[in-house]
Structure 1
Amino acid sequence: MMDKTFDPKAVETRISAVWEDKEAFRAGRPDRKDAVPYAIVIPPPNVTGSLHMGHALNNTIQDILSRFERMRGRDVLWQPGMDHAGIATQMVVERQLMEQQIDRRALGRDAFVQRVWEWKEESGGRIKSQLQRLGASCDWSRERFTMDEGLSAAVLKVFVDLYDQGLIYKDKRLVNWDPKFQTAISDLEVQQIEVKGSLWHIRYAIEGEPGRFITVATTRPETMLGDVAVAVHPDDERYSNLVGRHAILPLVGRRIPIVADSYSDPEKGTGAVKITPAHDFNDFEVGRRHKLLSINILGPEAQISVAGNDDFLRDLPTSDSLTALMALDGLDRAEARKRIVAMLEESGDLVSIEPHTHAVPHGDRSGVVIEPYLTDQWYVDVKPLAEVALGAVRNGKTKFVPENWEKTYFQWLENIEPWCVSRQLWWGHQIPAWYDEEGNHFVAMTEEEAHAKAQEKHGRAVTLVRDEDVLDTWFSSALWPFSTLGWPEDTPEVKRYYPTNTLVTGFDIIFFWVARMMMMGLHFMDDVPFDTVYIHALVRDEKGAKMSKSKGNVIDPIDVIDQYGADALRMTLAAMAAQGRDIKLSVQRVEGYRNFATKIWNAARFAEMNGCQRVAGFDPAAVTETLNKWALSETAKAINEVAAGIEAYKFNEAALSVYRFVWNVFCDWTLELAKPVLQGPDSDAKAETQKTIAFIFDEISKLLHPFMPFITEELWAIKGEDGPERASILALAPWSNLDALIDPASDAEIGWVVDLVTEVRSARSETNVPAGAQIPLALVAPSADVQARAARWDDTLRRLARLSDITVVDSAPKSSIQLLVRGEIAALPLEGVIDLVAERARLTKEIQKVDADVAKIDAKLGNADFLKRAPDDVVEEQRERRAESLGRKVKMEEALRRLQDAG
């Protein structure tokens, strides 16, 4: 006998153990050696991480695909693993050391890295266990880590090969520099924050014209020490006679050219801009166009560096202010700004200061202001790789779902810049480059190979020192689809599972990860890494706001699983995963799908208590009862709908299809219509119905399994007669094809009963008929088939629609509302049941109220100032309220029309 209630906590633990014991998720199972492979690589979560709701959505979608294809007989590899997450992980361990008052540099590189490995072993498994709580059906026996031995070998080979091909090189360029961590960081790790600051207007004297100046405006006066030019727009007539002349840099006295460049905006500020190539990305490009010197006046901790700075001191005229400038050396940039502004005021070169709010780049982990910083770094020339990656999407080799994300992919790759891959960290893949005493570098797989190259160059043995930098985390992640399969070794897994099939990821890393995997896969494997990229939306709170700890609106998926079960959370996320639409998640929605799980459980108990047990050899095609034929036909349709939804990556449609089938078609109609037979005396019809319901319940378990794996696996195991063909566990059961059972004749009969009862119930509700009232139903000039059906199902129709009687009439009775059911007219005489006049008045008043509400919303949405100032979630809430109100209005207008037709 089944337990009275479904306990997710107890079931999830037990079912997980069954899957592990049966090796249900292992790729390359002996029974599938000839099956068509299907592979997904997990977007490797950071080893520092824990499961958040975005992970829950991402992995639920991957699991739906994996379980679905596994049930369809394919050899599924869902490749799990984690990313070493360079800067994030190093930051965590450094913070731990700081609490112990230990400095990383005092500890030394080897000891520090050992500490990180220890921490990884201790805490790195947290997210794995959380993914298992979610029900992720990864092949955990194949778990990989971006810094394990095999993946590290792949990283070394790719770096060396790209270097040998001339695609990796060292160059002095601007990077995003984090002064706290003292490393270059990627654009992804930079967060733009609106800051209330100032705009300083500074005058620069025109050489040879005493008393004439050109004024520039800047938000960063401290960088003016590195100015090498002033730029004006070529079409700006105000400055046309100054182009080619020189200005004198205030405080410094350096002679700098005035250049014409379209970067300068005549409509912005004074129309003249200071050019500091070493401290601004746009200025760097202007400097390259005009072959200007780059002067770096900041050190790695964002402190002023002028003393001993050859670039700064070069061509510097003797100046009385030089001593004052040297006094700035070593000052933090913020303090230096104050000093320089004071010096400009004193010299009379500060024209004005105005308040100015602007976006300032901050490190997303350090929280400090990021500096554009000129340093020597390693770069990948990705332009030729990008051309191939662009072609693979343009020719359809890889497709994006939704398709509009292709534009983002194209935009980034068409405008791609060299990729800075070096990081000034200790945790990560150390760059395989060694330097001799002269600064020459030798790139090689091993130190021995580097020494051999050095000896060949010098004709003697030389001392070499390895580059201390490590590679950008995204470099190793870019190899994930093939490095996890054992490449660069020619493994059976590489041959079988590459290219993979579907990548499920978020839009924010299309460039940082997806595009780089495409480039590396095509370059090293000569094929795309995946055929489809499914981009899922964001999970927001119920009001549409982005979840954040500062807002206090974060929903922890583990907390939700603890309270409602993994199945309820998964089904919620799947049902809301509409393509291109963010998910507004509320705990109430999860509670609703927990109730759905309870409904399934209770239906299973009802079936068990009514003798619905599996029978070996049951042939669904041999049933004779019309109700059973209809139920099996609806099951076949549901199987097709769910499969079509998953195949089209319309997970919400697939989830809602199975939800409607289970709740409405099976629970509300099949079981309800079968009750008189199941609870009646023994008969052939009863035995057939019991077997049919048991069979359908197994099909329901299969249909729901990709979405709700725990409860369905438990139901699959519940006692009953098992045929030899039945899989021992649901995770390995075959997906069904019941197209042969689709039966139009049974749909004409039972479908009519369902539609009639539904229409009567809807009409009763809309017109405010009291719930307990028994009302008559008149079939208006029905066909012989309909009249016969009504007779066969008279008791059922009266019970389910709360009808006092069913009659056949030639025309609709007075004061009745008419229903059109499959082309036939049915009428509900309501005179004496409700006050028709009062009900019409009520509905009219309600419609007017809705119109007023919609008008208020339209006024807001038509107000440009409201749209500009209101948060996105508030605007979206107003739009949803409008849509909801209009939906109610449609129903009320239909009810009013029916009452008006009734006279």
Structure 2
Amino acid sequence: MKELEKKYNHKEVEKNKYDLWLEQKLFEAEFDSKKPAYSIVIPPPNVTGKLHLGHAWDGSLQDLLIRFKKLNGFDTVWIPGMDHAGIATQAKVEERLREQNISRYDLGREKFIEKVWEWKEEYALTIRSQWAKLGLSLDYSKEKFTYSEQLNKIVNYVFVNMYENNLIYKGKRIINWDPKQKTALSNIEVIYKETQGGMYHFKYMLENSKEEYLQVATTRPETMFGDVCVVVNPNDERYIKYIGKTVINPSNGAKIPVIADEYVEMDFGTGVMKCTPAHDINDFELGLKYNLEQINVMNDDATMNEKALEFNGLDRFEARKQLIEKLTQEKTFIKKEDVTHQVGYSERSNAIVEPFISDQWFVKMEPLAKQVLDLQSSDNAIKFYPNRFNDTLNKWMENSHDWTISRQLWWGHQIPAWYHNDTKEVYVGINPPKDEQNWTRDQDVLDTWFSSAFWPFATMDWNQDTESEMMKRYFPVSTMVTGYDIIFFWVARMVFQSLEFTESKPFNDVLIHGLIRDEQGRKMSKSLGNGVDPMEVIETYGADSLRYFLLTNSSPGQDLRYSEEKLTSTWNFINKVWNASRFVMLSIEKIPTTQEFDLALEKNEGNLNQIDLWILTKLSETQKQVKEAIDKYEFTVAGKVLYNFIWDDYCSWYIELSKAQIGENSLLNENQKEFSKLTLGYVLKNILIMLHPFMPFVTEEIYQSFALESSILKERWLEKEYKFETQSISHIFDIISTLREFRANQKIKNAISLNLYLNNSSSSVKNELEVEIEYIKLFVEKMVNCQLNNNIIQDKDYTSLAIKDYFLDIPNKDFFDKEKALLETKEKVSLLSKEIERSEKMLSNDNFIKRAALDKVEEEKKKYEDYKKQYEVLLEKIKQLDK
């Protein structure tokens, strides 16, 4: 065996390990294997920059599962890939170009796309290097990209198929609009922030009346130019008389009707609502219901258009300001209330998102949502961990709206639709129309989530004609790991697209994790400057420490708090494993294989000591508990079980006891001694196998020192169960622990010898103790005598320590120096006498009583009473010591 370095150095340990795994192709799938298959596809990170701590957590969870399954005899595949991230990547590249005083329009579409590809290649290398740092066991031979030629073929086929089956249509609807990027946004690209704003109240005068009006409140006065009616609840007695009448829109003087609909809440605001179908999603739905006009009052850069009259060309917020000034003069502005409300901001440009009516492509959600709901109510339902997120999925599907899939970008899958230059006819197809010169292709691209919705089967080389070998063996995906923040945006879409095109669910299990927050519990963000770079953590603590911390500090579905203290504790735990491994390697000649160990066990069965049988039993119990926990995705439970077994059972007890077993004064015969050495190494090897999915680098380093297989990943999780009757071993631990605690409490130095008498209350305990008493004698430092009966004690002056159903008796003379204690007590009495005398003089001094502060006098009186009580106690103690 190769000796480990004296000090654990994570930088040296983690160097070159990943290259070794790749060289041996340990991460690649085994198509011809008869092993059961297990598959994961990585949630593809955006090629917009470096991975953050959330990616590290997500990746560590998946890597644990892959390594665990591989060690348990599965043929595993983990498919890597990246997302082209349409709007995010385009925004980053445009930002870089602006620094060079270049716009994408200067370059043109084709040249700009070339620049984006350059960006993609640059950051793809960065992401792969970070995956390597984390030790992610990805099969790079199957890596995919959401904007590859292969994915583009799938995207075009799916789009055309859905269009032909009336699942995709083009129409005017309200969407989230980024006026800075000038594109539609998906819901996930809108970040809602609490924002200070105003609730503005206006008079909508009744036609032909100078006095009567309806009071309408809005947070967006600039949209008033698009008002087409005012709405009240039909049951609101205040306004029933106005239903069917006409009011004057104060912004432009237009005459608009008062209509009734139960959508309006009577107890919210004034109970009167303005309806602007082109600028509010709920108003839009009302507009469809009552066939109302859709008046768009803004340009695509959020400046006002000609519908805003004299405010044409003004920015929306400047128009708001000037409109209020105008209506104040006209006495139709009533008041402004300061409010704090949730306002949507574009994730990429930080512009306030405008609800905007626009001609876009949409996916019809109702039939697709029904498929998801039907699946989840069947026996074949996808299992969510934790299960409550199944309810989240169902609720979103029950309340889903048609999905906007077109984006006004250049980077992405261009929509396979063409418009005839003369007839304006629409053609949708995988290939361009035959007379292409007479057609103009749609300039929009598809939402990134549209292409990533095919990820589970696209990564498996799916095509519509024949079933690929990957699909046959690895689909549905075994486990999908992702955060709870994208269940609807990604998970739901993967489910319905898979059901639609493969007639199968995309995955069997979905493991949901939360968000990583800072040490104060705040969400990590650039604005707060509280983000943590995982590569910096790895530099300081190592990837193993980071992984173990991420994997064992949060339950499924829960957020995780970053903690430097826990990272330090994890590093110390790894160091403990390192030092334990060094001791084992210095103590034994070889590490046995499972076959060799079982032969040795069979040969020595019936002639083995209880300590070795105990640790083998504990090993089996631990392996069973860890496996059960990981199978349930309860990694924190698995980590805790492992930690306790390694730190307490193996390091604190077994290694210490083994020193008595294999050392010079060993009680064992040569065969037993040799088997103890084998056990010491064998248990360590299986500890490393269990630990490997959590911390792959250090376990590989230690394992390779054993000179066994070329990698620990070629080992197998121990399947044989060791179960021996080892209850008597607990007596050893109880006695040692009790004695250590007694020494600590009594401040008895280890150099002081003690006579111990075990006074047992039952014959069964006595029999068990007789087996182990020699171990107790060897293990307990400075123990002169240890016997099973307290009748030997002649002196009745002893201390009795209770241990379950028997006692540990210790003569007081062994540790208690009566003469010294008497002298120390008399010295304390002398000092107290002086304090009492001083206090009495002070309290009998009238000047002190009159001049001192009242609290000072009371404090002195309390001291005096305390001194007297202590004095009496010490005098009683002296009497006892003088006996």
Q: Please indicate the TM-score interval, normalised by the length of the shorter structure.
A: 0.7 to 0.9
Instruction: Work out the CA distance in 2 between the residues paired with 1:526 and 1:827.
Output: 74
- Of 374, 387, 394, which aligns to 2:377? 394
| Structure 2 match to 1:27 | 29
CA separation of 1:462 and 1:90: change in aligned 2, threshold 3 A: closer
Match in the other structure for 2:342: 359
Provide, for residues 382-404 of structure 1, a one-character-per-residue CA deviation record: whole Å limited to 9, x for no partner: 21111111222222421100011
The correspondence for 2:538, drawn from 551, 561, 574, is 561
In structure 1, the partner of 2:650 is 666
Task: Look up the match of 2:361.
Answer: 378
Q: Which residue of 1 aligns with 2:428?
A: 443
Q: Are residue 697 (structure 1) and residue 684 (structure 2) matched?
A: yes
Between Structure 1 and Structure 2, whose CA radius of gyration is higher?
A: 2
Structure 1 residue 487 corresponds to structure 2 residue 462: yes
On the 8 A contact 2:757/2:788 being kept in 1, the answer is yes
Q: Does 1:523 align with 2:506?
A: no
Letter paired with 1:198:
G
Aligned with 1:524: secondary structure? helix
Q: Which amino acid aligns with 1:665?
A: D
AA matched with 1:476: S
Cα distance 1:335–1:165, how it changes in 2: closer, same or farther (>3 A)? same
Cα distance, 1:802 vs. partner? 5.7
Query: 2:561 is paired with a residue of what secondary structure?
Result: strand
Contact 1:768 1:834 in 2 (8 A): no
Instruction: Tell me which moved more, 486-495 or 238-247.
Output: 486-495
Q: Is the 8 A contact 2:247 2:255 kept in 1?
A: yes
**Of residues 522, 545, 562 in structure 2, which corresponds to 1:545?**
522
Distance in 2, matches of 1:769 and 1:462, equals 96
d(CA) in 2 for partners of 1:672, 1:533: 43
> In the superposition, relative to structure 1, how do residues 141 and 774 fare at CA in structure 2: closer, same or farther (>3 Å)?
farther
Distance change (3 Å), C-alpha of 1:440 and 1:599: same
Seen in structure 2, the aligned counterparts of structure 1 residues 548 and 806 have a Cα distance that, compared at 3 Å, is farther
Is the 8 Å Cα contact of residues 42 and 81 (structure 2) preserved in structure 1? yes
- State the AA in 2 paired with 1:736: L
Is the 2:48–2:85 Cα contact (8 Å) retained in structure 1? yes
Taking only aligned residues, the RMSD between alpha carbons, in angstroms, comes to 2.5
**1:650 and 2:629 correspond:** no
- CA deviations on 1:15-40 (whole Å, 9 max, x unpaired) are 1111011000001255xx22111111
- Indicate the residue corresponding to 1:184 in structure 2: 184
Question: Structure 1 counterpart of 2:532, which letter?
Answer: I
**Which residue does 2:245 correspond to in 1?**
245
Cα deviations by residue, 1:488-539 (Å, 9 ceiling, x for unpaired): 1632111111111101110000000001101011111111011110101222
**Structure 1 Cα separation of the partners of residues 348 and 754 of structure 2:** 68
- Tell whether 2:509 aligns with 1:509: no
Of 86-95 and 256-265, more deviation after overlay is shown by 256-265
Percent identity (aligned): 39
Residues 1:76 and 1:213: Cα distance change in structure 2 (over 3 Å): same
Distance 1:71 1:299 in 2: 60
Residue 476 of structure 2 contacts residue 504 of structure 2 at CA under 8 Å; is this kept in 1?
Answer: yes
Q: Residue 797 of structure 1 contacts residue 803 of structure 1 at CA under 8 Å; is this kept in 2?
A: no
The AA in structure 2 aligned to 1:70 is K
| Structure 1 residues 525-674: aligned runs within 5 Å | 525-615=502-592, 618-620=596-598, 621-622=601-602, 623=604, 624-626=607-609, 627-674=611-658
Q: Distance in 2 between matches of 1:830 and 1:227?
A: 95
The farther-off stretch of 206-215 and 532-541 is 206-215
Question: What does residue 444 of structure 2 align with?
Answer: 469
> May I ask how many residue pairs the two structures share in their alignment?
797
Q: 1:341 aligns with which of 302, 313, 324?
A: 324
Aligned counterpart, 1:409:
393
Equivalent in the alignment of 2:823: none
TM-score of the aligned structures, taking structure 1 as reference length: 0.84
- Write the letter of the residue equivalent to 2:597: D
Q: Gaps spanning 5+ residues in structure 2: where?
A: 818-883
Secondary structure of the residue that 1:241 maps to in structure 2?
A: helix
Go from structure 1 to structure 2 and tell me whether the alpha carbon gap of 1:817 and 1:249 turns closer, same or farther (over 3 Å shift).
farther
Q: Which amino acid aligns with 1:666?
A: Y
Return 353-362 or 260-269, whichever deviates more. 260-269
Q: Report whether the alignment pairs 1:743 with 2:728.
A: no
- Offset at residue 270 of structure 1 (A): 1.6
- When residues 771 and 241 of structure 1 are mapped into structure 2, their CA distance, relative to the original with a 3 A threshold, is farther
Shift of 1:757: 2.9
The question of whether the paired residues in 2 share the 8 Å contact of 1:816 and 1:831 is answered with no
Task: Choose the corresponding residue for 2:694, options 704, 707, 721.
Answer: 707
Moved more, 472-481 or 542-551: 542-551
Aligned to 1:496: 473
Structure 1 stretch displaced more, 199-208 or 549-558: 549-558
Matched residue type, 1:610: S
Moved more, 652-661 or 769-778: 769-778
For residues 467-487 of structure 1, the C-alpha deviation after alignment (integer angstroms, 9 at most, x for no partner) is 011111101111000011111
- For 1:825 and 1:171, the matched residues in 2 are separated by 85
Contact 2:384 2:390 in 1 (8 A): yes
Question: Within the alignment, does 1:418 sit opposite 2:405 as a pair?
Answer: no
Are the counterparts in 2 of residues 434 and 442 from structure 1 also a CA contact under 8 Å? yes
Deviation at 1:713, TM superposition (A): 1.2
Aligned to 1:327: 310
Paired with 1:829 and 1:545, the residues of 2 have a C-alpha distance of 58
Contact 2:167-2:363 at 8 Å conserved across structures: yes
Cα gap change, 1:810/1:480 in structure 2, threshold over 3 Å: closer, same or farther? same
CA distance in 2, matches of 1:525, 1:639: 38
Q: After the TM superposition, which of the residue ranges 661-670 and 527-536 deviates more from structure 2?
A: 661-670
Query: 1:756 Cα shift?
Result: 3.8
Measured against aligned partners, the alpha-carbon deviations of 1:576-622 in whole angstroms (never above 9, x if no partner) come to 13234322221221121111111111111111111241246523332
- Does the CA-based 8 Å contact 1:83-1:477 persist in structure 2? yes
- In structure 1, the gaps of 5 or more residues are 307-311, 313-324, 453-460, 836-903
Tell me, in whole angstroms, the C-alpha distance in 2 between the residues paired with 1:476 and 1:834: 80
Q: CA separation of 1:573/1:830 partners in 2, compared to 1, >3 Å: closer, same or farther?
A: farther
Partner letter of residue 15 of structure 1? Answer: K
- CA shift for structure 1 position 434: 0.4
Q: Distance in 1 between matches of 2:731 and 2:556?
A: 34
Is the CA contact (8 Å cut-off) linking 2:622 and 2:645 kept in structure 1?
yes
8 Å Cα contact 2:734-2:803 kept in structure 1: no
Matched, 1:8 2:3: no
Distance 2:592 2:489 in 1: 54
SS at match of 1:748: coil
Q: In structure 2, what residue type is equivalent to 1:369?
A: I
1:569 Cα offset (Å): 1.1
Q: Given the alignment, which residue of 704, 707, 711 partners 1:717?
A: 704
Q: 1:628 to 1:116 in 2, by over 3 A?
A: same
User: Cα distance, 1:825 vs. partner?
Assistant: 5.2
| Deviations 1:337-388, CA, capped at 9 Å, x for gaps | 1111111112111112222222211112211110000000100112111111
SS of residue matched to 1:172:
strand
Deviates more, 1:427-436 or 1:231-240: 231-240
Distance 1:638 1:712 in 2: 18
Deviations 1:814-846 (A, max 9, x none): 88565443x5555678899799xxxxxxxxxxx
Does the Cα contact within 8 Å between 2:200 and 2:218 map onto a contact in 1?
yes
Aligned residue type for 1:594: W
Aligned residue in 2 for 1:890 = none
| Distance in 1 between residues matched to 2:810 and 2:416, nearest whole Å | 84
CA contact (8 A) 1:42 1:78 kept: yes
Matching residue within 674, 678, 693 for 2:662:
678
Secondary structure of the 1:693 match is helix
Q: 1:734 aligns to what?
A: 716
Q: CA separation in 2, counterparts of 1:439 and 1:758? A: 88
Secondary structure of the corresponding residue to residue 150 of structure 1 = helix
User: Aligned partners of 1:515, 1:403: CA distance in 2, in Å?
Assistant: 15
